């Protein structure tokens, strides 16, 4: 039994080394090579402004102040080296207090009733890096952003529409407004 075990373990070690070479080196490098066909799509889809990378269209960012559309609350302050949800439970008093606080803040910032604040504006996302907000939350913010940037509301509303990602293939997932791309579009609009 022990002799068998040591003999088999030697085979196991050799097998693992062979598999490591094939599955741990050749496979990921081959996938990377195939990924070159997709260009920036497989490289995190960087977004550039004035020739400098200012983010990824897939990673949510922190925005504050009236001139920007704000992202959803993030449990990790949009730190891409520590992606995380809040993990607060469904009956957590801490979470209930946070929701109340966020609701009051958003209502005050946007100058609307607390009842008009959509769910995604008062809840932290699963990754802390959610690149989207709901179309309802974008619509809520549009008047403030338009005024702060001296733009017509209709112009900003068109930009929101333009940067809304629909469901994949029309039925997979839910629509969301890409906050970074929308803010870049707003910035470019103000420079015209």
Partner 1 sequence: MSDTLAGLVSIAALVALLALAYRPLGDYMAAVYSSDRHLRAERLVYRLTGVDPRAEQSARSYAVSVVGFSLVGVVLLMAMQLAQAHLPFSRDLPGVPFWMSFNTAASFVANTNWQSYAGESTLGFTVQMAGLAVQNFASAAVGMAVAVALIRGFTRARTGNLGNFWVDLTRGTLRILLPIAAVGAVLLMAGGVVQTFSDTPMDTLAGHGQVLTGGPVASQEAIKELGTNGGGFFNSNSAHPFENPNGYTNLLEVLLILLIPVCLTRTLGTLVGNRRQGLAVLAAMGVLFAVSLAAVTAAEVGARSQAAQAAGAAMEGKETRFGEWASALFAVATTGTSTGAVNASHDSLTPTGGGMVLLNMMFGEVTPGGVGSGVYGMLVLAIVAVFIAGLMVGRTPEFLGKKIGARQMTYVATYMLVTPALVLVGTGVAIALGSTSDALGNPGGHGFSEVLYAYTSGANNNGSAFGGITVTSDFFQITIGLAMLLGRLVPIVLVLLLAGSLAEQGRVPTTAGTLPTHKPVFVTLLVGVVVVFTALTYFPALSLGPIAEALA
To partner 1, the closest distance from the beta carbon of 112 in angstroms equals 14
Candidate list 106, 107, 110, 127; residue touching partner 1; CB under 8 A: 127
Report d(CA 79, CA 76) in Å as an integer: 6
> By C-alpha distance, which of 96, 186, 85, 101 is closest to 141?
186
Instruction: Report 34-73 residues binding partner 1 (CB under 8 A).
Output: 34-35, 38, 41-47, 49, 52-56, 58-65, 68, 72
The residue among 135 and 143 lying less far from partner 1, judged by its C-beta, is: 135
C-alpha distances in Å from residue 110, one per residue of 43, 54, 102, 116, 174:
35, 26, 12, 10, 24
User: Could you say whether residue 31 binds partner 1 (CB under 8 A)?
Assistant: yes
To partner 1, the closest distance from the beta carbon of 148 in angstroms equals 13
To partner 1, the closest distance from the beta carbon of 70 in angstroms equals 10
Site size toward partner 1, by CB under 8 A:
100
The residue among 65 and 150 lying less far from partner 1, judged by its C-beta, is: 65
The residue among 12 and 154 lying less far from partner 1, judged by its C-beta, is: 12
DSSP 38-77: GGGGGGT-EEEETTEEEEETTS-----STTS------TTT
User: Could you say whether residue 32 binds partner 1 (CB under 8 A)?
Assistant: yes
User: Could you say whether residue 155 binds partner 1 (CB under 8 A)?
Assistant: no
Instruction: Report 75-114 residues binding partner 1 (CB under 8 A).
Output: 78-92, 95-96, 99-100
Report d(CA 11, CA 50) in Å as an integer: 57
Tokens of 21: 């070479």
| Long-range residue pairs from 163-171, CB within 8 A, at least 24 positions apart, any chain | 164/135, 164/138, 165/132
Number of H helices, E strands in the chain: 6, 5
User: Could you say whether residue 174 binds partner 1 (CB under 8 A)?
Assistant: yes
To partner 1, the closest distance from the beta carbon of 129 in angstroms equals 6
To partner 1, the closest distance from the beta carbon of 62 in angstroms equals 5
């Amino acid at each position: 039994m022990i002799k068998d075990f040591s003999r088999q373990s030697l085979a196991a070690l050799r097998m693992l080394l062979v598999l490591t070479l094939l599955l741990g080196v050749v496979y990921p490098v081959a996938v990377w090579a195939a990924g070159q066909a997709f260009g920036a799509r497989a490289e995190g889809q960087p977004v550039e402004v004035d020739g400098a990378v200012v983010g990824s269209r897939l990673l949510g960012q922190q925005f504050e102040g009236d001139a920007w559309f704000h992202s959803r609350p993030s449990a990790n302050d949009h730190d891409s080296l520590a992606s995380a949800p809040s993990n607060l439970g469904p009956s957590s008093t801490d979470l209930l207090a946070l929701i109340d606080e966020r609701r009051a803040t958003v209502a005050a910032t946007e100058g609307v009733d607390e009842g008009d604040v959509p769910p995604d504006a008062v809840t932290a996302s699963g990754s802390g890096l959610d690149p989207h907000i709901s179309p309802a939350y974008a619509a809520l913010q549009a008047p403030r952003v338009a005024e702060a940037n001296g733009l017509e509301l209709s112009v900003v509303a068109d930009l929101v529409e333009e940067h809304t990602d629909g469901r994949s293939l029309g039925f997979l997932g839910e629509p969301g407004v890409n906050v970074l791309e929308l803010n870049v579009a707003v910035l470019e609009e103000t420079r015209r």
